Chains A and B, each alone.
Chain A
Amino acid sequence: MRNVDVIIVGASLAAAAAAKRLVDAGFETLILERLELPRHKICSGILSPRGYRFLLENFGPLPRAALHDPTWCRGVTFHFPSMVSMPMDFFGGTTPHLHRKYSDYWAIQRSGAEVHDQTSVVALSDKGTHVAVSARRQGGETVEYGARYVIGADGPSSVVRKAIYPQYDKQIPWFFVGQKFHDIIHCPLDHEYFHFWFHPRLGHYTWSHARDGRQIVGVGFKKGDSFHDRHRIVEAYLREKHDVQLQPAAPDHEGCAENFGPSLINRYVFGRGNMLLTGQSTGFLNMIGEGMSCALHSGAIAGEAVVESLCHNQPVQSVYRQMIASEVRRTSDQWNPLMIAFAKPHEADFPAALLALPREDRIKVLRDIWRFVVLYKEFNWGRQIMASSLARLFTGRYPPQRWL
């Protein structure tokens, strides 16, 4: 049985950030990854400037291998059913288009932590003074580990979260997000931008951008619908309305289940006892902000909380929750209509782009956004968002009562 200071489950960007903090402070840190590294990861790969800054400051300049082509992204373009398009540049310059398979691997290596890949965690039990972790290696061999703390950085369907809150997955709405890759015949969509459609008929989350000579067509919808049907609708819409002519999708399409609901109504799971959750497993999947920078920052904060706890005997859970409050505030601000209207919570200037439109277009856009938002009505999020927006206005923070 191997005993270490901290075990991080999942070799993700959140894991790399947490590991960096822990290894720097001299703690023995082990990352357990289910797949073989470098591993594949479904993601748009479009990083925000803030996330890029974090990568640079903590892991150094990105190697070319960690990037897709085009290697950069200039900003986001919003498209509306009324055929108004709004391109918006990121504040402060272009950002990298990460090849998640290699960028994550690079960050993990640069963190300096030890990695055991092809090792799936099968059981976790908190013994009070430490956490016992059993895992299965490729080939079926069972390995036992002990760690003073465990950090779950293993994505939306987190093993660590299941161990702490077995009921949680059943209590939240799940979405399916999938992308297909098409060879391009003709594509007028600007390859320097990430394109997003506010269109209720297309789905809850519809996007497209260029990657490695192909065009990605992505759809997100409530779990239960058919990926291929949904994708066909979007593909046809792009062809009709935007003159995007694509070859049939290549066979390497991909998709996964996502939990982006809880973050926008500010309902997070941060862990219990000696186990912390971070990144997407916490609920930091911020689809109109950007998920990777949330993962990086929340991962780093989880690492810091553990360092505080190991060195200064502070209660890890409350320290983590206090330190993460700024990150919650930032991501929730991005959903807060009052903040969007007045405080520029995003890394591109939506209000300015809106004001730059002719008056009639502006009205169309607002009407289209409203129709799109109505799509989410069934989840009853509107009232919850308004309630927390008001709390933010008067108390300056989001109420932590909804955190687990």
Chain B
Amino acid sequence: MEIPVIEKGQLPPCPVAADALQGIPRQQTNAGLWHGENWRSFVGELQAAGIEVREDRGSRGIYVTDAGGLAHGLPHGVMLAQDAQQVAMLMMKAQHYRIPVTTRGGGLTTEGEAVAYGGMLLDMTGMCHLLSVDKKALTARVQGGMLWHRLAELLRIDGLDYISAPLNLASSVGGTLGVGGIDVNSARYGCSADQALALQVVTPTGDIVECSDDQNVELFQRVLLGYGQFGIITEATLKIRNYTPMRMHYFFYHSLRAAIDDLMMLDQRGVCDYTGILTLMDKAITLLVGFDTPEREQDFRHIMISRLRGCREKKFALRLLGYYLPRPWRWRQLRFLLRWKQALFPDLLPAHHMQKGVLHDRSAVFSRAVWKHWGHKHMVIPDLAASKEKFITAVERGNAVCKKYFPYYTLYCVGIKLRPEHQPHYELSAIPPDATGWSYGCEFEPILDDERHYSRDYLQSFKNAIYDIGVDMGTSYYRFGGMMKAYIRRALGDAVVDKHLAWKRAADPAMILNRDVIF
């Protein structure tokens, strides 16, 4: 039997019927293994150039899956990135021999984007140096494999800090710039990718190119929020800021709608430096606000606090009690809420990070809390990113899906300030095209524990149900990794995808760099 070869990025004609599985493009999302053609000659050339390729099973096994834990794949070999020249050499040879190359930073993708289905895995974390800091202009030049936690440590020496980064400590600068990256201050500063001023990129054909808003503009637009399709970020110049501790407040809500309204109102007025919503199911909804300076905090106290519909802890506890008392069949849920509150809140304001009532090193605090309370072998965090108008409906529909699949879950909502001048960067990304001013993202996160095993398909079905809402409502997705291949065409439409695919083919003729992520 002949199995037709389908070129990467191509949608083959459907032999079933024109309306077979409506809306689902005929793509294999759980990629097949690459079979290793030309691998030996390729490795031989790299070794001759003095590059170490690790081929023992143990070294390859380190990278077999990502934080999502749904996709698995074993690379043929692993290379630890050392410098741009070495990476360029790799890409040149890989292009010649048509060897798939998968780049990986912290490995925090959730749909297997950082998993190599055979071929070469390039571990970027070998390039983790801070190259220079400009204290006056507040910029820093870092290597692509820099992990945000390390960057925070290094910048702190000069009393500086990064602007915004994902709350997990372990993701890399290069990977984050490729996909976006949100933080609790994104409503004020935009996503992490918006903080990049210039990049050094190794193209899929092995050239080392500097790009920014003034230089090689097109490449800059492609690579930022480009899901690693158009080049490997080896260096980046980032905007940074002076370090400040954080002053935190919580407000509690019963209704998602009220909390989201207040979140949007605060963002619009720009009175807070940090805003976000963190919920336990749709029962305990917490609006988190934070401030960099005592003055801002004072202003907020004077003007805003009375306008918020949320209440403080004690009042909320009473209202919660009022809800649960007549519902004994929900007491198990109540017990869960109380247990979580007791475990989580001390970790969000730990005594050893407090100095004179303010929180120091929030990134370390939040990230460790995230890992401790939500960390699991499967990071299942599908999300929806929508314009302000559609957001509430999207969250409510997603909430219903969560309820159907899991007894306990969390919603995490943050605003992302959009930069009109960055519109070209956003095109392929998760920023919904109809959003103006801010786009809002909500992560739907089941609370999993190690004692209960779910099948991968169950978790994937849950994610698909969330993504389907996005397709249905015309919203988008905002996640650590890229979009699942099957969704990008449904979400963004054929015209946008084909335009970028044509660029991809021109930039990467052998289609080898980060295959199976979106094309």
Contact = CB atoms under 8 A, between A and B. Distances in A.
Indicate yes or no for A touching B, C-beta below 8 A.
Answer: yes
A56 B72 contact: no
Contacts of A93: 17, 19-23
Contact of B24 (A23, A53, A66): A53
A224 B255 CA distance: 62
Given A53-B21, A106-B1, A58 B16 contact: no
Contact of A300 (B21, B27, B32, B456): B456
A392 to B, nearest CB: 15
Interface in A89-117: 92-96, 102, 105-106, 109-110, 112
Contact of B33 (A24, A95, A297): A24
A142 interface: no
Given A26-B64, A326-B458, A52 B20 contact: yes
Contact of A110 (B3, B22, B486): B3
A274 B2 CA distance: 36
B16 A71 contact: yes
Interface in A16-73: 20-21, 23-26, 38, 49, 52-54, 56-67, 71-72
A23 B31 CA distance: 12
Given A49-B21, A64-B15, A54 B74 contact: no
A24 B29 CA distance: 13
Centre residue among B4, B26, B28, B72 by max chain A CB count within 10 A: B72
Given A72-B17, A95-B20, A63 B455 contact: no
B21 A323 contact: no
Nearest to A97: B16
B145 interface: no
A394 to B, nearest CB: 10
Centre residue among A20, A56, A106 by max chain B CB count within 10 A: A56
A7 interface: no
Nearest to A93: B22
A165 to B, nearest CB: 24
Contacts of B14: 61
A96 B6 CA distance: 19
Interface in B11-58: 12, 14-17, 19-24, 26-30, 32-33, 57
A288 to B, nearest CB: 21
Interface stretch (A152-160, A177-185, A199-207, A301-309): A301-309
Contacts of A102: 1
Contact of A58 (B1, B24, B28, B454): B28
Contacts of A57: 28-30, 486
B452 interface: yes
Interface residues of A, number: 51
Contacts of A105: 1
A319 interface: yes
Q: Interface majority SS on B: helix, strand, loop or mixed?
A: loop
A309 to B, nearest CB: 11
B455 A324 contact: yes
B253 interface: no
A322 interface: yes
A52 to B, nearest CB: 6
A20 B453 CA distance: 20
A319 B450 CA distance: 11
Contacts of A59: 28, 32
A111 to B, nearest CB: 9
A61 B453 contact: no
B61 interface: yes
B77 to A, nearest CB: 13
B12 to A, nearest CB: 5
Contacts of A307: 72
Interface string A293-336: 00001001100100110011010000100111011000000000
A25 B72 CA distance: 5
Centre residue among B19, B65, B74, B453 by max chain A CB count within 10 A: B453
Contacts of B26: 56, 60-61
Contact of B457 (A25, A297, A308): A297
Nearest to A192: B17
Contacts of B486: 56-57
Contact of A61 (B1, B12, B71, B452): B12
A58 B30 contact: yes
A56 B3 contact: no
B174 interface: no
B16 A72 contact: yes
A393 B132 CA distance: 63
A92 B21 contact: yes
B57 A94 contact: no
Contacts of B456: 21, 300, 304
Interface in B102-119: 117
A323 B12 CA distance: 34
B3 A323 contact: no
A297 B64 contact: no
Interface in A362-377: none
B32 A94 contact: no
A57 to B, nearest CB: 5
A321 to B, nearest CB: 9
Contacts of B417: none
B333 to A, nearest CB: 13
Contacts of A72: 16-17, 20
Interface string B445-467: 00000001111111000000000
Given A24-B72, A60-B28, A95 B1 contact: no
Centre residue among B6, B61, B457 by max chain A CB count within 10 A: B457
A149 B105 CA distance: 34
B73 interface: yes
A56 B74 contact: no
A96 B24 CA distance: 14
B188 interface: no
A110 B74 contact: no
Contacts of B73: 24-26
Contacts of A300: 455-457
20 contacts: A23-B33, A26-B57, A52-B21, A53-B24, A56-B28, A59-B32, A60-B6, A60-B27, A63-B2, A65-B1, A66-B1, A67-B16, A94-B17, A106-B1, A106-B3, A109-B1, A297-B457, A314-B453, A319-B453, A324-B455
Interface of B: 1-4, 6, 12, 14-17, 19-24, 26-30, 32-33, 57, 60-61, 64-65, 71-74, 117, 377, 452-458, 486
Given A61-B28, A63-B3, A63-B15, 18 more contacts: A24-B71, A24-B73, A26-B60, A54-B457, A56-B486, A61-B6, A63-B2, A65-B1, A71-B16, A92-B22, A93-B17, A94-B20, A94-B21, A96-B16, A109-B3, A300-B457, A326-B455, A326-B458
Which 6 pairs across A and B sit closest by C-beta, in order of nearness?
A: A26-B74, A72-B17, A60-B28, A93-B22, A25-B72, A64-B15
